[in-house]
Structure formats: C-alpha cells, structure tokens
Structure 1
Amino acid sequence: MNVGSWRLHRRLFTIGSQARRHTESGAIRAGALLLAAFMLTITLLAMTAVSLLYAGKADRALARTTAVGESDAEAGLRWALSDDMLEDSRQFGVVFIEPLTPDAPMPPGVTKWPGPGEVLMSPGLLAAGESEGIADRYGEVVGMIGESGLTDPGEKLVYVHPVGGLTIDDPLHVAGFGPNEGELYYSLDFGIDQDRPQWAFHGLIAGMLLMPSLLLLFVACRTASQQRDKRAVLVAVLGGRRMDRAAISAGDAWRPITLGSLLAVVFAVTVIATEPTIPITGYEMSFADLRSAWPLLLAVVGLAWVVAMTAAILLDRATTSGNSTRPAPSRGRSTQVLAALFPVMVLITMVGPQLFAVGTGAPRPAYILTYWAGAIGTAITMPAAIAVSTAYLGAVLARRGARRRHPGQLVAGRRISAHPGPTARMVSGVTIGLFVLMQALAWQGAFASQSVRGQALIDDIGYSTVEVDPRGDVSTDQISRFVEALPPEAQLLGLELGFEFNELVATLHGDSPALTAAGLPCGSDGNIIPVEALTPAVQAAVRGVSPVVHETPDAADHIADSDDTGMLVTLPPGEEFSIPDVKGISYQVFPLGATVEVPGMSNLSGGAPNRDQALWTVLIGVIAVGVTAVVASFATAAEYLRHGKAIAPLTSIAGDFRIFRSYAAWSIFMPIALAGAVGTIVGSWIAFSVDDVGAQLITTELVLTCIGAIAVIGALVTVVAGATAIRQAQTWVPRGD
C-alpha cells in the first residue's frame, strides 16, 4: 500500500468514525456492537478455559500416578485405594497409606505423611463434609493436601494412615509418583472419570453461548443498516473500491467493538484475580491454569476482536444491480434460504441421531453431535422461517387492509411482506431464547433423572435398613465389634447374592430376632419367601428376587467366610440409622472401612455426577437466555425507530395517530406472538427426545406459560412501539425528502 492509499484509507476511516454519531439508531447499534464483542470474547475465552482446565486436571492426575515395585524391599510405601461419598454427593478417593521408611515417596500436594491414626484431607472435603463430621470419620486431621496434589481446588480426597498399619493382603508397593518414577500403575482419577468429556462442554458452550453471541453480532451489524447500505452504494458509485468501503465500515464500528473487547478483558482479569466459586454449580476451578496461559488468552481476545470487526465490515453491503448506479432493494434472499433449510434441520434433529443409535446403551458421540448439529441448525433457521411465514401473512393482511380501507393493516402488511429480514432479526432473540430454555430443561432433567429416582427410592425405603459392604477381608470379631457399636436395637442379617444357571439367587442368613426385625417369618429355614411379601427395603436389597431364608445364629461367621455375602443391618420400624455415623464406625473397625447405603442405591449412585453436570447446563442456559433477550431488545428497539421514522408522513394522510397503534399491533405483536407459539412448540418438540428419558421437566403447563408470557411481552413491546411511532410522527415536518 502506497502512502497515498494509506492516507486515503485513514481519512475514510475517520469519516466512518464521525458518521456513526449521526446515523439512524447509531447509539443503539453502538451498544449492540459493544455487547456483541463482549459476549463473543467471553464465550471464546470460556471455550479456551475449558481446554486449559481439562489439560491441567489431566497433568495433575498424571503427576500423582503411582509407580510400583514388586515388594516392600523395592518400595517405601504401602498404598491401597478405596472410595467414599458424602450424602447427596459424588464419590471421592480414600487412600490408605503406610510409610515403610522415613523417606517414603510422597505425591504432589503432600509434604509429610501423617502418623498412625492421622489423616491428610483436602480443603474441599473438609468444608463439604462438615455437617457429617467428616473431620472425625477416618482419624485425626493433621494437615491439608496442597493444591498441586488435587485435580482442582475443590476436589474431595483424603490420605489415611490406619492405626494398625495397612493389614490387607495385597497392597500396592509404591516406589514413587509420576511418569518419571517407574511403571505407572494407578492414578486417582475420580474427579476426571466422573466428568463429562471435554467435547461435551465445548458443544454446550457452542450451542448455548457462541450461537447467541454470533446472532447478537449479526443483529448489531445490521442494525440501522439502510443508511449504511445507501452510503456504501454511494461510495461505489463515486468509484470507491471494496477496501475503501471497508475503511469507512471499520471506522464506524471499531470504537464499540474495541470497548467491548476491553471490557471483556477487564471482566476476565477480575475473575482470575478474585478466584470466585462458579455460581449455580459451586465449582472451584484452578485459576493457576488460566494465569499460566495468559498469552493464549490474549490471542483469543484478539481473535474475537478480528471476528467482530470482520463481521461489521462484511455485513455492510453495497447492493447494486449490474452496472447500474441505482440501489437495488433487498429481496431477503438469505432469509428465504434459511427458511427453506428450517424443515431440513428439523428432519436432521428428529431422524439423524437414530442412524447412530446403539440400542439401550450410552449414546455415541456421533449420536449427540448429530442431534446438536440439527438442533442448532433448527434454532438458527427458525427465525427466518417465522419471518417468511409472517411475510406471506403480511401480503394477505395488505390485501385485507386495502379491501376494508384499514390503513394500518395495509401499511403494516406491505412492510412486513417486503422486508422479512428485519422481522427475522426481531424475533430471533425470542425463538432462540425459547430453544435454549427448552434444551436447558431437557438436559437438566436427563442428567438429574438418576438422582431423582435415587431420592424417590430413599423416600420409599427410609433409613431403618442399610447395606454394609466391608472392603477387604474382615473377621468375625470385627463384624461383632461393628454391630456392637451400632444402636442396641440393630440386628444383623447376612445377604448373599450369586448366580445359578445365569439367574440371580439371594439368600438371607440370620437368627430369629434379626429375621423378625426385617419383616421375615421365623421358623422358615430353607424356605423361599415370595418377593411381594418382603418389605420395600428387603425387596431392594435382594434385587427383586424371592430369597431363600437360612436361619442361623452365626450370621457374622458366614459373612466373614464368604466373599459373596454382605451385611444387612435393620432397626425396628420408626427408627433410622445415621449414614455418616455408620460410616464412621466402619472406618474405626474395618481395615478399609465399608460402603454404607440404603438398599438398592448402588444401582443409582452414579446419579450425583450427572446431576452436578446438569447444573452447568442450567448456568449456561441462564446466560444464553439473557443474551437472546438482549438480541430481541436491540432488534426491536431498532425497529421502533425505523418504523416510526418511515411511517411518520402518514400523519398527513390518516389525519390522526390511530394508524400507528394498528401498525404496531400487526408489525410487532403478530410476529412476536407467532414466534412465541412456534418457538415454544418446536423447541419443546426438538427437546422431547432428551426430556422423555429424563425427569420430564417440560410439561404442557410450561409450554402454555411460555406462550402466554411471550404474548404478554409482545403486547408490552407493541404499546411501546406505538408510542414511539406516535412521538416521532408528532415531531415530523415535511422536508422535501
């Protein structure tokens, strides 16, 4: 570029910057561009942060991976992994250790191993388990696990040094930790294994935040576009090239876009500096991972700025017909194309995923990606489909207005029929907001369904009967001491589960008082008890099969001698166990503690991670609905001013201002009401395949409420639009234009 061209483009850039202040709806467009740049930057930063956090968690998990030796002579630490869980929470790691030498190897986050009867606990576990007395469950807490030894700051983890040492038969012999210390054997991956895959989070952010952010950017770029398009045509007529028009467009848009990007940087820096807990989810992220990657984050900010500026430049169109200098009116071709794609996207969403279905197993990534591709495409094309439908209705409305001499209907019908693009921008926030809401509810219900069923099971069974499954080999004496530490009314049954001829067989062992406490008849040794005669708790414990009763006074001996027999402990009706207290007793008696849970909960224990992951859908869905509401607000506000200015001359023809209220009703309320109805129905239909297997949070009442709420909002917007048009008409005077 020569000096002359550079000076010309700098001048054109300045002209564009000055022209922004005098453009129709200039302040509205500037605000929209600022928010669009802000949201696009934050969204791209969020997607980058997800990758950084997953990578950081994987690195820290690898750093604490055990390197094993063949015997105690080749290692300085005995090590055994177990697990536990707080009430209504996910599993976490419980690591039993016994240092054999003063210089026993230590994983990251540990500076000194605890002595016998002492434990090291993560801050997240200590805080979350305070109500359950977690500080006293495993022994005396003598220190905290450092952040370098946790996959994230909120991870729950505990290292336990048993009083009598690690007495199990096959502990790991640990020679070191990390990939450079020897053969990798085992890693504490509870936090990672229970997380949704990284691509799922990226897809969630892309669908619920990136798409609305790009929509907001498009609406912002096309707000008050008529004058800028005319300006671009004029520049082209005067011999201006594409780069000349780009310089003017860049000058028009750079200030709000740059300010939005800077505000996003300020927001991100504030978040990283203050290290808050993520709202709704309660997640504590490792901000150190983000601070160490600041060059990449700055590059992402630059990318977002470039994308926003490029969109602002490319979406300023200089539309001409052939070699003519006469501006050609837009026929809304892009809107027509998007509208034609709408049924295609609906078909892909409803039929496409079934091509990758795998029976009753977990859906494959291709299944979910196809569903999301179709669903996102449906949300993008739905506003155009509604706009084109409204345009056809507008043509009918115009003919009806002309026939009945209703000027409001005539003008509104002709305008919405001729300009489907502005209608699509106006309703896009409504339709996409409804789509995001339905998807958030559907996925929350799907993720939380297992947890909901688990809570329903607890409500039905209660806590008067619990299953206790000691970890490792236990003796009759340990079982007896465990039962003696329980409330005096507690009775012990042995529960043996096995398979004969590929069929599940259940056997209950216990003396007469224990059988009676469990609701079983005495004197029925060797009999099979019909499952329908059992209490709900025992039904769940025997997995729904009719058990054989073995009446014996030596249930503890049978439990100790059999690997297939667990413990079923009961209290009289009306009394209940405290699960945390029973767990605490198990860790005092058994070498590795025990799993303690309501019968049947083992099949539903995976519900807590999915329920927790659903909170991310809720969080991102709430933000997305807010973004789409902003889209609708800016699009409608721009239409207020445009409509009011365009039809102000009708005052001299109509003689009064009633035409403006009628005009607003047909051009504003009708599209918004139609968008509310179609968006709610199609959005709930698209989400049905997800919601149907979940907690079914999308109900008929919810659908009707959404339609009614959008209708009310549309009525309020219509009133404001009519008042705006009247106010502009009152100040309009002929100017010869």
Structure 2
Amino acid sequence: MTGSHPAQTRRPGRLWIQLLRVGLAAARTTPGTRLRSWALLAASAAMALTALAFATTTATYDGRTQRDTARGPIVTGSAHQATALWKEAIDSFGTTPHGVIYIEPLTPNSPPPPGLSHWPRPGEALLSPELARAAEDNDSLDRYGHYAGTINAQGLRSPSERMAYVRPAHPPADPAAESWQYITGFGQLFPMNQDIYPHTAVETNGVIAVLMAVPALALLVVATRVGSATRDRRSQLINALGASWAHRALINVGEAVVPAAAGTVVAVIPAALLLATDVRLPFTGYIIDTADTRRAWPELAGALAVSLVLTLVLVVILHRVQRSKTATRPSLSSSRLPKWRLALCVVGVLAIAFSQYAPKGPDIAIFLAGTVLMWATLPSVVAQLCIANGKRIAAGGYRKGDPGRLIAGRWTAAHPGVLVRLSVVFIIGIGLISHLQVWNSRLGDSAAAAQRITQRVGDTLYTVHSSTLTSGAVKNLSRNLPDGTHLLVATTHPEGDHPRIDLTGSCPDLESLRLPCPGTAQRVTSSDPRLEELARPYAGNLTVRAVNGDLPVSQTNGSLIVTTDEPGHRAEIEKAAYAAHPGINVDTPGETWVIGAQQKNNANNWLFLFGGSGLALLLVAGLISAAAEFVRIRAGLAPLSVLTGNYQVFRTIALWYLTVPLLIATALATFITNWHSLFFVISLREGRFSWPVLATAATGFSLAAVAIGLLAAHSARRAAPFWRPKAD
C-alpha cells in the first residue's frame, strides 16, 4: 500500500502548511473578521509595548549601575595615599533637588571623574545638561562659581540627572574638619545623588507588571474571543473529524498570525526610536539613554519576538475544546467556566490578606502577586454569580410570560465568557483608579503644611547651615550678601519643658525686623510671619540679643538666618553662601518638606504614565468587547421582532443581559477595591483611601453599564427591519 501511494508519504510534511492556509482563509471569511483583526492587532501591540517596557527597564538599570560604579569614589583613610579630595552636598532649584560634588585634586596626574575631560580650575563648576538648563532658568548659572561647561553622558546616571562638579576657589585648609573625604580615584559603586526615579529595577518591573501587563493580557483575552462562537463551532467540527490539539492550534495560529505580527511591527516604531536617540518619557521628565538601549538591542528584539510568540500561544490556549466521554455531539466551551479560575482568585485574596504578616521586602512581592491573581480572575467570579442570577431571571420571565427576561436569563447562563470579557474592564478599571488615588495621597499633612509655610513666608527668609561652618566663612558671607539683606545667628534649644530659639545679630539687623536691641537675651513676641514660623516649632518662644562686631559662630551649631527687605534676591544670596563655604545649605522654612513631597509626586508621575497606559488598554478592551457584543446581539435579536410583534423586547433583553451583570461587576469591584485598598495602605505604610474617588469611579462605570445596554438595544432595533431569513 505504501508503495502504491507515494504521495501519502509527503502529506504529513505538508499538512501543517495546509492547516495554516485554512486558518489564513478563515481569517478572511469568518463573520466579524474585521473587528477581530483590529482587536488582535491592538492586543499584540499592547503585549509588545509591555515587553519592550520590561526590556528597556532592565537595560536602563544595567547602564545606570555601570556608570554609578565607574564614577563612585574610592575612599581611603590615608592622606598620603589620596590623589584627590571629594565631598557631596545636596541643593535644589525650586522643588527639584540635585547633587553637588566638590572635588580637589591633590596630585598632578590624578584622573578626573568620569564625564569630565579635565579637572575644573579653582572656582569653576561643571553642570549636567539638565541642571544647566534649570540653573539658567533660575538665573543661577554661576551659583557655584564660574560655569565651565557640562558633564558628558559617561559621567551621568541618565541624561536627565541633575548634578554638578565644583572645585572651590581655594583648597580647604583642614579637609578633615570640613568633612572632605580622601580618595584614590574612581571606580567603586557608591550611592549618591538619588535622582528623579531612585527605585530598583525589580520595583519598576513590578509596577509595569501590575499596571500594564495585566491590562494588556485582558485586552488580548477580549480580542481573542471576539466572534468566538463561529470559531468554537469550527473547532468542535474538526475535533469530531479526528483533529488533534496540534491541528487545531495550527489553524488558530494561521487565523491570528497576520494581525498579531502587524501589532508587533507597530511596536517596532518606539523600539527604533529608543535605539536612535535619547527619549524623554512623558509626565516624568526622565530621559532614557540611547547608549543603554543600543547596548541591549538583542534583548529588545528578543522581547518583541517573545511577545509575538506569547500572543499566539495565548490565542491557541483560549480556543479550548471540551471533550465529552458520553456524547459525540459538539458542545461549546463558552457555557462553562474553569474551576481553577475561582481557586486562583481565592489564592490571590489569601496572599493579599497574609502579605502584611510577611517580612519586609517579600511582603511587597506577595502583595503584588496576590493582586495580579485576584484582579485577573475576579471577572470569572462575577460571571459565576451572573450565571446563577441569569437562571433566576429566566425562571421569573417564564413564570410571568416575559420573553425578554426569559431570553436574557438563558443567554446570561449560557454565555459566561461574554460576561468575563465585558466585566474585566469594569473590575480592573475601578481598582486602578482607586489605587492610583491611594498612591497619590502619600503627600501627607506635614508636606501640605510646609507648602503653606513656604507660601506665607515667600523668599524673604533663608536658613543657612552647615556642620563645618567657620567664623571666616561667616565673615565672607556677610561681606558678599547683597544690599537689603540681614544676617543673624540662630541657636535652637528644642529640649526640655521650655524649648526656644535665640536670635543674635547687630542692632541694624535686629531693627530691620522691628525687634529690640538688648545687650542680654530678652524674650520677644512679633507679628512678623517670618519670625512666627521660626518660633512655631519651639512653642513660639523667641529671644533676641544684640552684639557688636563678629557674630558668635561657635554658638550657632552652623545655623544662620538671612532676611531680606524685598523678595527676589535668592540667586544672589545662594551665590554668596556657596562662595563662602563649600557644601553649605540654603533653604526657606518648610522647603525640605516640600522637596520631599515633590519627590513623591515625581514617583506618582511614573504611576500616571504606567497606570494611564493600562487604563487606555482597558478602555480599548471595553470598546472592542462592547462592539463585538453589539454585532452578536444585533444578529441574534433581530428575528424576535417578528415573533413578539414589538421592539420593547430588545431593551428588556439588553438591560437584563448586559446592564445588570455589569452593575453586579461594578458593585463587587467597589466592595473588593475598598477591602484591597486598606491592605494597599498597610503595604505602603502611608497614604489614605478616598471614598469619594471610589464612589465617583463606581458611579461612572454604572452609567457606562446602562449606556452599553441601551446602545445594544438601539443597535438591535435598527437592524430588525432589515432582517431576512437565511438557510443557516
């Protein structure tokens, strides 16, 4: 037999090509193909962009670590072995902090830090490009000395980093007393100058997984199951003909490969942009270094390829065929829900509940894993509830002779997969909105109070402090301050039952604040808002004392007060302070709190970037799912106008079949989000949950549920007059 039919030996080798061609043909002829193709393209692009985000994050952090290691100082305790002096300080322009690195070479052959082609001359400063732009905007380009150029990319953690290398005009007389460190060179990992986004790669990938990967998977599930009834019948038919799982998989791959590949090609555009130039991310201001992405181009290409393969694998997995041991009649898999989804939802809930008892570190990972499991499987729980509710609706419609309720109830019980795809947008959407609010609430009451202080005082009072301040530095500062400014010494006594702050200065400087000029310490009260804010942390207790000659710097513990008669002198004051003493700090009351709050807001901007992307993906998934259901309802309900003789049945079916389950999903999502947000606050150890935000989100999604039902009914009613019987 084998010899008489040689063509049969070639058939198995060609079968997979034939099956792929069957899938390609089905993609062109199956009803609803256009909608499904666009949906798969969008889902594949979302998966590819998410994979690209993971790969870019890994490449970026690898590059950051390499540059951090290359520029880190190698500290030594021996002055004889040292080749340079090094000291770090923190400063800010507005509410954005930056690092200031003071350097002083000790040997002529000492190599400069990475990013510098040569050592700056005495009194010169080199700034990163981002810091140089900020300094120019604040009219402070010469704050640290003569501006001598910019630091190149090899010396920066990222192109968006703000930092400066400064060489003092005069070498320090006593480096140890002024907190300088002896170094032998550079090339050791040394944490310094935490910039816009100081979190680790693991934390960043965790945020991407929760806020982008889960919505992308939801979109893929919805896109795969668009118009699934026809494909499920086809799968049952070829299964009855003896096709194996691999045969069905090849047909499904052939049907989905073109739009899936097109979606991956769409993601090639941002990948090419990352490889071509530095990219500034929206909302965050962070700049991705193209050198990092170019170095990791194989990983970026691999991520796109893996996303395409994963998309096709999920397409195959989501087209399951239920085999029956007692019947040969094909049955649709959409009439049942896998029990393992409900079990995974329970596992996710338990992981969230017990994460608070886990050690610090693993608790975040357990919480995030439980969150992903719960939100991914909660739509199946909603569908299970709706199945039971659908049976009750059908029974009630049968008893009352209401065809609309009868049909809606039976549809609800028979098609839980549709309910899963529709409710996923509502459930995950409400959760995302509420959790973004909780994260954003971390600003805190103390930071808000600090903002009010800053607004009240303005830029007419500055605190100048350093732990190594000398009397000579105070004299230099006093000589270089601009006209209309006054210098005082502040000595604080926060301990005991009677805390107080003492101000010491010359009579003209005290009188400029409408204060007396006593020779001994005298307690005073003042209505000047600047003095009120100074004394507020000390129960309002303020004393003043006048001195002639030099200010008693030894009593200040490094704290000076500069006041101005008029605002607008900040740049001049800061320039004078940094020229007088390297590493000095100049800020207004409450400014440190405000800067800390702004740093948290910068982290929130990353959540808005990833969370906004996730919400956009969910919106696309909702639109696709609703559009697919409109098409199915329009075709399925149109004949009912002939059988019932009225169009009211369309609205009844649509509201009971679509609106009611979505309202159930909204109610359950609201309850679960309230519970989950409490654990989210515990996990963050800060922040507050807002009921108004949750109520607003729930109200918006409830209105959307009503709108979806009404639009579906309207679509069916418009199609009814054009319905004609077909031989199907």
Instruction: Check if 1:65 corresponds to 2:72.
Output: yes
Distance in structure 2 (CA, Å) of the matches to 1:675 and 1:517:
66
> How far apart are residue 78 of structure 1 and its match?
3.2
1:89–1:368: structure 2 CA closer, same or farther, 3 Å change rule? same
Aligned partner of 1:324 in structure 2 is 327
Give 1:241's aligned amino acid: S
Q: 1:15 corresponds to which residue?
A: 22
Structure 2 distance, partners of 1:383, 1:510, is 70
Instruction: Quote the Cα distance in structure 2 between the aligned partners of 1:661 and 1:193.
Output: 53
1:409 aligns with 2:405: yes
Please, which moves more after superposition, 614-623 or 648-657?
648-657
Deviation at residue 219 of structure 1 after TM alignment = 1.7
2:58 aligns with one of 51, 61, 66: 51
What's the counterpart of residue 151 of structure 2?
145
| Matched residue SS, 2:286 | coil
Q: How much has 1:328 moved relative to structure 2?
A: 3.0
1:462-487: CA deviations, max 9, x gaps?
A: 33332111463422x43244235445
8 Å CA contact 2:466, 2:558 repeated in 1: no
Report the equivalent of 2:560: 567
Q: 2:100 maps to what in 1? A: 94
8 Å contact 1:448–1:610 — kept in the other structure? Answer: no
Q: Any conservation in 1 of the 2:93–2:135 contact (CA below 8 Å)?
A: yes
Q: Kindly provide the CA deviation profile for residues 416-466 of structure 1, in whole angstroms up to 9, marking residues without a partner as x.
A: 123222111112112212211222222122267765453233234433332
Residue number in structure 1 paired with 2:5: none
**Displacement of 1:175:** 3.3
CA distance in 1, matches of 2:355, 2:497: 34
Q: Is 1:355 the equivalent of 2:357?
A: yes
**1:110-149 superposed matches below 5 A:** 110-149=116-155
Aligned to 1:592: 582
Return the alpha-carbon distance in structure 2 between the equivalents of residues 584 and 376 of structure 1: 51
Residue 109 in structure 1 maps to residue 149 in structure 2: no
Moved more, 222-231 or 386-395: 386-395
2:210 paired residue among 194, 207, 221: 207
Q: TM-score, normalised by structure 1?
A: 0.88
1:664-721 superposed Cα distances (whole Å, 9 cap, x missing partner): 2222222334434443454355335556976758452x33433333233334333332
State yes or no: 1:176 paired with 2:182: no
1:713 maps to 2:708: no
Match in the other structure for 1:642 = 632
CA distance in 2, matches of 1:659, 1:524: 94
Q: What residue number does 1:361 align with? A: none
Select 2:160's aligned residue among 141, 148, 154.
Answer: 154
Which amino acid is 1:311 matched to?
L
Please give the alpha-carbon distance, in whole angstroms, between the structure 2 residues aligned to 1:452 and 1:284: 29
Aligned equivalents of 1:460, 1:332: Cα separation in 2: 65
Match of 1:230 among 230, 233, 245: 233
Matched residue type, 1:566: S
- SS across alignment from 2:316: helix
Q: Is the 8 A contact 2:464 2:562 kept in 1?
A: yes
Range with bigger deviation, 520-529 or 213-222: 520-529
Q: Displacement, 1:11?
A: 0.7
Contact 2:336 2:416 in 1 (8 A): no
- Structure 2 Cα separation of the partners of residues 2 and 210 of structure 1: 45
Q: Who is 1:734 aligned against?
A: 725
CA distance in 2 between partners of 1:281 and 1:424 (Å): 34
Q: Does the C-alpha gap of structure 1 residues 503 and 199 become closer, same or farther in structure 2, counting only changes over 3 Å?
A: farther
Please state whether the residue corresponding to 1:226 is helix, strand or coil. helix
Alignment of 1:504-543 (within 5 A): 506-510=501-505, 523=518, 525=520, 539-540=533-534, 543=537
1:448-487 correspondence to structure 2 within 5 Å: 451-470=447-466, 472-475=468-471, 477-486=472-481
Structure 1: which amino acid aligns with 2:701?
I
Q: CA deviation at 1:323?
A: 5.2
- For 2:125 and 2:596, the matched residues in 1 are separated by 27
- SS state at 2:207 partner: helix
Instruction: Give the alignment partner of residue 442 of structure 1, picking from 438, 445, 450.
Output: 438
Offset, 1:405: 2.7
Does the aligned pair in 1 maintain the 2:505–2:546 contact within 8 Å? Answer: yes
Task: Give 1:283 deviation, angstroms.
Answer: 0.9
Question: What is the rounded CA distance, in whole Å, between the counterparts of 1:387 and 1:704 in structure 2?
Answer: 23
8 Å contact from structure 2 (residues 430, 698) kept in 1: no
Post-superposition CA distance 1:645-681 (Å, at most 9, x none)? 2333323311233322322222222233443444345
Aligned positions of 1:260-409 closer than 5 A = 260-322=263-325, 324-330=327-333, 333-334=336-337, 338-339=341-342, 342=345, 345-346=348-349, 348-349=351-352, 351-356=353-358, 364-409=360-405
Seen in structure 2, the aligned counterparts of structure 1 residues 155 and 526 have a Cα distance that, compared at 3 Å, is same
Q: Deviations over 1:115-134 (max 9, x none)?
A: 22222111110112222123
Out of 22, 28, 35, the residue aligned to residue 35 of structure 2 is: 28
Instruction: Note closer, same or farther for the CA distance 1:368–1:524 as it changes in structure 2 (3 Å cut).
Output: farther
Most deviating of 672-681 and 627-636: 672-681
Residue 505 of structure 1: CA displacement? 7.0
Secondary structure class of the residue paired with 2:337: helix
Assess if the C-alpha contact under 8 Å between 1:53 and 1:285 holds in 2. yes
CA contact (8 A) 1:541 1:599 kept: no
Inter-CA distance 449–38: structure 2 relative to 1 (3 Å threshold)? farther
Offset of residue 46 of structure 1: 0.6
Deviation at 1:326, TM superposition (A): 1.0
Q: Is the 8 A contact 1:429 1:628 kept in 2?
A: yes
8 Å contact kept, 2:650–2:713: yes
Residue by residue, what CA displacement relative to the aligned partner does 1:611-647 show, whole Å, maximum 9, x if unpaired? 2111000111111100001111111122112222233
Q: Does 1:248 align with 2:243?
A: no
State the alpha-carbon separation in 1 of the partners of residues 13 and 715 from structure 2: 43
- Inter-partner Cα distance in structure 2 for 1:365 and 1:31: 41
User: Residue deviations 1:373-427, cap 9 Å, x none?
Assistant: 3333332233223323333332332233233332222211221123222111112
Q: 1:544 aligns with which of 535, 538, 542?
A: 538
Preserved contact between residue 120 and residue 142 of structure 1 (Cα < 8 Å): yes
- CA offset at residue 93 of structure 1? 1.9
Amino acid at match of 1:430: F
TM superposition shift of 1:87 = 0.9
Taking the aligned partners of 2:444 and 2:289, their CA distance within structure 1 comes to 26
Aligned-pair CA distance for 1:601: 3.7
Distance 1:335 1:88, change over 3 A: farther
Q: Which position in structure 1 is the counterpart of 2:488?
A: 493
Q: What is the RMSD of the two structures over their aligned residues, measured on CA atoms?
A: 3.3
Hey, what's the Cα distance between the residues in 2 that align with 1:450 and 1:282?
26
Q: Return the match for 2:645 from 634, 640, 655.
A: 655
Q: Which of 601, 613, 619 matches 1:629?
A: 619
Match of 1:420 among 412, 416, 421: 416
- Measured in 1, the distance between the counterparts of 2:601 and 2:9 equals 61
State the 1:151 CA deviation: 0.6
Gaps of 5+ in 1: 179-183, 358-363
* CA gap 1:660/1:55 in 2 versus in 1, 3 angstroms: same
The AA in structure 1 aligned to 2:250 is A
Which residue does 1:360 correspond to in 2?
Answer: none
TM superposition score normalised by structure 2: 0.89
Aligned-partner Cα distance in 2 for 1:450–1:612: 18
In structure 1, distance between residues paired with 2:350 and 2:710: 38
Mapped to 2, the partners of 1:222 and 1:405 lie a distance apart of 33
Preserved CA contact (<8 Å) 1:320 1:326: no
Over 3 Å counting, the alpha-carbon distance change for 1:70 and 1:594 in structure 2 is closer
